[in-house]
């Protein structure tokens, strides 16, 4: 099982490869879906990973990325054992979104108040990017090789 840095590097490598390939084939990066997908992918890579279920037993890299707000993951870590439901391909990412829904709602209200409401395509892109980052994490967990040097 790779450590957090390997997950981050792997996701960045594949995300960068996708961006290069998309540019090469003339993908329309101006569509709101793509900035949303990038934001969701990066959030899922660095802040909201399947490994937040380690907290409060271990302070993993994603929890550290939250800084002083890392405490929000205490109850999630108590509710879900590591590699249990939180590592399910469909329900795992959904459990984290549902768990964060009060925080996401507050963020949405704040953005709306500031007149920064993202277009609907960006929200769908964010969800797609987030799920992709989660699936890559789970796939990498299943590779029986030692990838700590990645």
**87-112 pLDDT, tens digit each:** 999 999 999 999 999 999 999 999 99
For the full predicted model, state whether its pTM sits above 0.85. yes
Going by C-alpha positions, the residue among 140, 65, 52, 55 that lies closest to residue 97 is 52
Q: Mean pLDDT for the chain?
A: 92
Residue 25: count other Cβ atoms within 10 Å of its Cβ. 7
Asked if the model's pLDDT at residue 67 lies above 90, the reply is yes
Q: Which domain holds residue 111?
A: 4-141
Overall domain count for the chain:
1
- Whether residue 91 is contained in a domain is answered as yes
- Whether residue 135 is contained in a domain is answered as yes
- Whether residue 146 is contained in a domain is answered as no
Q: What is the pLDDT of residue 22?
A: 92
Confidence of residue 134 (pLDDT cuts 50, 70, 90): very high
- Whether residue 95 is contained in a domain is answered as yes
């Amino acid at each position: 099982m790779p450590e957090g840095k390997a997950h981050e590097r792997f996701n960045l490598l594949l995300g960068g490869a996708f961006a290069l390939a998309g540019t090469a084939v003339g993908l329309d990066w101006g569509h709101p879906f793509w900035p949303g997908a990038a934001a969701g992918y990066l959030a899922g890579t660095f802040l909201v990973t399947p490994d937040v279920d380690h907290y409060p037993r271990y302070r993993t890299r994603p929890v550290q990325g939250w800084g002083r707000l890392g405490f929000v993951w205490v109850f999630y870590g108590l509710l879900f054992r590591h590699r249990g439901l939180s590592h399910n391909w469909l329900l795992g990412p959904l459990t984290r979104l549902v768990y964060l829904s009060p925080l996401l709602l507050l963020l949405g209200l704040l953005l709306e108040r500031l007149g920064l409401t993202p277009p609907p395509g960006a929200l769908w892109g964010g969800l797609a990017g987030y799920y992709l980052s989660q699936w890559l994490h789970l796939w990498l967990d299943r590779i029986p090789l030692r990838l700590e040097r990645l």
